[in-house]
Amino acid sequence: MADDIYKQLADFLDKLPGGFPETESGVELRILRRMFDEDEAHLALNLTMRPQPPEAIAEKIGMDAELCAERLESMAKKGLLYRHRREGNPLYAASQFVVGMWEYHVNDLDVDFIRDFNEYVPYLFEANVWEKVPQLRTIPVVESVSVTREVLPHEHAAELVRGQEKLAVAPCICRREHTMMGEGCGRPLETCLVFGGGADYYVENGMGRYITVDEALDILDRADEAGLVLQPSNSKHIVNICCCCGCCCQVLKTLNKQPQPARLVASPFYAVSDPDLCIGCGDCVERCQMGAVEVVDEVAVIDLDRCIGCGLCVTTCSSESMRLERKPEEEQPPVPTTFARTLLQLARERGVL
Q: Are residues 242 and 141 in the same domain?
A: yes
Q: Are residues 115 and 7 in the same domain?
A: yes
* Segment 276-292, tens digit of pLDDT: 999 999 999 999 999 99
Q: Do the domain assignments include residue 331?
A: no
Q: Are residues 171 and 72 in the same domain?
A: no
For residue 314, what is the domain's CATH number?
3.30.70.20
Q: Are residues 176 and 236 in the same domain?
A: yes
Instruction: Specify whether the CB–CB gap between 94 and 81 falls below 8 A.
Output: yes
Q: Do the domain assignments include residue 45?
A: yes
For residue 103, what is the domain's CATH number?
1.10.10.10
Provide the domain count of the chain.
3
Q: Strand, helix or coil at 251?
A: helix
Q: Do the domain assignments include residue 264?
A: no
Q: Do the domain assignments include residue 32?
A: yes
Q: Are residues 221 and 194 in the same domain?
A: yes
Q: Are residues 208 and 290 in the same domain?
A: no
Query: Does the model's pTM come out above 0.85?
Result: yes
Q: Do the domain assignments include residue 348?
A: no
Q: Do the domain assignments include residue 222?
A: yes
Q: What angle do CA 234, 240, 242 make, to 5 degrees?
A: 90
* Segment 148-207, tens digit of pLDDT: 457 888 999 999 999 999 999 999 999 999 999 999 999 999 999 999 999 999 999 999
One-letter identity of residue 15: K
Torsion angle of C-alpha atoms 228, 234, 30, 75, degrees rounded to 10: 100
Query: Could you list the residue range(s) of the whole structural domain that residue 91 is in?
Result: 2-122
Q: Do the domain assignments include residue 25?
A: yes
* Segment 206-264, tens digit of pLDDT: 999 999 999 999 999 999 999 999 999 999 999 999 999 999 999 999 999 999 999 99
Residue 19 has pLDDT above 90, yes or no: yes
Q: Do the domain assignments include residue 335?
A: no
Q: Where among 93, 122, 151 does a domain terminate?
A: 122
Instruction: Specify whether the CB–CB gap between 93 and 47 falls below 8 A.
Output: yes
Instruction: Specify whether the CB–CB gap between 120 and 27 falls below 8 A.
Output: yes
Q: How far, in whole angstroms, is CA 235 from its chain's centroid?
A: 12
